[in-house]
Structure 1
Amino acid sequence: MNQVEITSLLLNQAISVFEEWLSMRGMSGETMRGYLVDINQFNRWMTSKSNSPVLVDAITVRHVEEFVSYLANERGCKPRTVNRKINALSTFFQCMKKKRILSENPLEDFERVKVPDSERIYLNREEVEAIIQAIDHPVLHYFAMTMAYTGLRVNECINLTLHDVNLEDGYIQVINGKGGKNRTVPMSDRLKSQLQTYLKFHRPKTDSLFFFALKKTGTVSDQYVNRILKEACKKAGITKHVTSHILRHSFASYLVKKDTHVAVIQRLLGHASVKTTSVYLHVHPNNLKEAVNQIDF
């Protein structure tokens, strides 16, 4: 009887199970929110398509393929956005399998959408410096600098507390990053010096424990960060569509150009797999020519 009840679980009921499972795994609030937004969108689409509540075990790969087509063709979602939603669904079905609600994860081998190289935006050294210098707001100026010099995710940077930034020994402790993981990121001597200046002269007087704190709110929002970056790009004459995540991309891209080992970049970025880091290993045709010119058998 129990097996029948479990197998016949409705999708909206399964989402509640999924939310609890994510919470038990120590997922950050922002990561959980992202997963749930994507899963609930799929639930609304399936319910509308079926004109009735949907059973989890009735969902097929074909349904997901049609959902992907809907996202790309009707909603105009970019490949990266589509892939994020596929990843959320795959994690959802992984949970269903672990909870024995489903016997298999139907998306285990589901192919992701190819991301065109043109969609990956990176900034060179001069562009990063120009953007940082164009940010007049003192807190956001050092916030952007920290992202660019450490590769932290925007929410990791937002959630830094005064205790997480060790200016004496020169490292940042990321607590409960993506996937609920902690990691230590060393600071360059330049960033260490700049953040000492920030604390001494520019951080507003506030009771907030957040390292980057506005006097009014005691924290910083990702929307505000992206707005300031957009204004800075306009001021610096940079036409690329720059978001906070592009600073992280540029950090990784710059390390690749400096021949930093991919495993080191993986650790700094907090990626669970080198496969995730490999998207930054883009190769310019000039690099290929330089490589073959080194051969002297």
Structure 2
Amino acid sequence: MLKSLLPLFPQNRFPEVLLSEYQSPLLSNDEVHKVLADIRKYNFEHYLILRLLIVTGLQLPELLQLKKVDIHWNEQSISLGNRKRLKERKVFVEKTLCRELFLQAQQFIDTDLLFPGRKGPREVRSIQKVLSKASQFLRKPLHIPLLRDSLALYFYAKGHSVEEIQRLLGHRSIKSTKTRLQLYENLLGNALNVNFRGPQRKAA
């Protein structure tokens, strides 16, 4: 059974996801590097979109409405506002990704959106095509729930609490986070079930 632990890092500071360390039962380090390399050769903007989705756990509406002013370049962070199903939060990214996002922002001076469409805001189906292409390269399904669950498992395996993962992904309740993690308890087997109880702390 999943245990709720006290936060291990400050409320307003989450560690950025390092691609060199990314490893999840749903998406391995080799798979992440392979699909990003393949997509980058095919389309750099699509590569940026996919990398951002993998390391931040953004939902499609958040990505589509992401504005340049939401990115704090010096802090290497992205502010995400309140939405129907998601709470306000801030995520941090690697310096290399932040630099690439800055270059992306310079490409479109006539819009405040980071990833605009050809004629106004980008449509959901445009991002779905990116994920579909990535799925072809990787030869396995890639979609937003899987990427978010993969990120949750990544942080849980590194010892972060359920509360921390809740805040990182913007879940409205701790129950939602536990439900997503518990989907994989049986799938992962007994050897990994121990990790789902969270790091044990000695009584004071």
TM-score of the aligned structures, taking structure 1 as reference length: 0.50
Tell me the CA shift for residue 247 of structure 1: 1.8
Q: Distance in 2 between matches of 1:125 and 1:231?
A: 19
Q: What's the CA shift string for 1:83-136, capped at 9, x where partnerless? A: xxxxxxxxxxxxxxxxxxxxxxxxxxxxxxxxxxxxxx9322322332222222
Partner SS state of residue 129, structure 2: helix
Task: Please report how far the alpha carbon of residue 167 of structure 1 lies from its aligned counterpart in structure 2 after TM superposition.
Answer: 1.5
Which residue of 121, 126, 131 corresponds with 1:229?
Answer: 131
Matched position secondary structure for 1:178: coil
Deviation per CA, 1:138-167: give whole Å up to 9, x if none.
222111111111111121111111111111
Q: Which structure 2 residues correspond to residues 94-243 of structure 1 after superposition, within 5 A? A: 122-135=26-39, 136-179=42-85, 181-185=87-91, 187-188=92-93, 190=94, 192-200=95-103, 204-214=107-117, 216-235=118-137, 238-243=138-143
Name the counterpart of 1:264: 164
C-alpha spacing 1:182/1:138, structure 2 compared with 1 (3 Å): same
**How far apart are the structure 2 equivalents of 1:290 and 1:242?**
25
Structure 1 distance, partners of 2:111, 2:37, is 26
Q: Is the partner of 1:184 in helix, strand or coil? A: strand
**Which structure features the higher share of helix residues?**
1
Provide structure 1 residue ranges, at least 5 long, that are not aligned to the other structure. Answer: 1-120, 292-297
Instruction: Please name the residue that 2:176 is paired with.
Output: 276
- TM-score (structure 2 length as normaliser): 0.70
Question: What code does the residue aligned with 2:116 have?
Answer: A
Which sections of structure 2, spanning at least 5 residues, go unmatched? 1-24, 197-204
Structure-2 separation of matches of 1:162 and 1:201: 10
C-alpha spacing 1:227/1:247, structure 2 compared with 1 (3 Å): same
Counterpart secondary structure, 1:250? helix
Q: State the one-letter code of the partner of 1:200.
A: L
After superposition, the Cα gap between the structure-2 partners of 1:242 and 1:197, relative to the gap in structure 1 and judged at 3 Å, is: closer
CA shift in 2, pair 1:197/1:276, >3 Å: same
Q: Cα 1:140–1:217, aligned 2, differ >3 Å: closer, same or farther? A: farther
- In structure 1, how many angstroms separate the alpha carbons of the residues matched to 2:109 and 2:149? 32
Note if 1:287 corresponds to 2:192: yes
Question: Quick one: which amino acid aligns to residue 176 of structure 1?
Answer: N
What RMSD over aligned residues (CA atoms) do the two structures have, in Å? Answer: 2.6
Q: Is the Cα contact below 8 Å between 1:204 and 1:213 reproduced in 2?
A: no
TM-superposed CA distance for 1:239, in Å, is 2.9
Q: Which amino acid aligns with 2:123?
A: S
Larger Rg: 1
1:232 counterpart letter in structure 2 = A
Query: Using a 3 Å threshold, how does the CA distance of structure 1 residues 219 and 260 change in structure 2: closer, same or farther?
Result: same
Counterparts of 2:169 and 2:86 in 1: how far apart (Å)? 14
CA separation of 1:181 and 1:266: change in aligned 2, threshold 3 A? closer
Taking the aligned partners of 1:254 and 1:199, their CA distance within structure 2 comes to: 26
Q: Distance in 2 between matches of 1:172 and 1:246?
A: 21
Q: How many corresponding residue pairs?
A: 165
> Is the Cα contact below 8 Å between 2:157 and 2:195 reproduced in 1?
no
Identity of aligned residues (%): 24
CA contact (8 A) 1:165 1:171 kept: yes
Q: Is 2:66–2:115's contact at 8 Å kept on the other side of the alignment?
A: yes
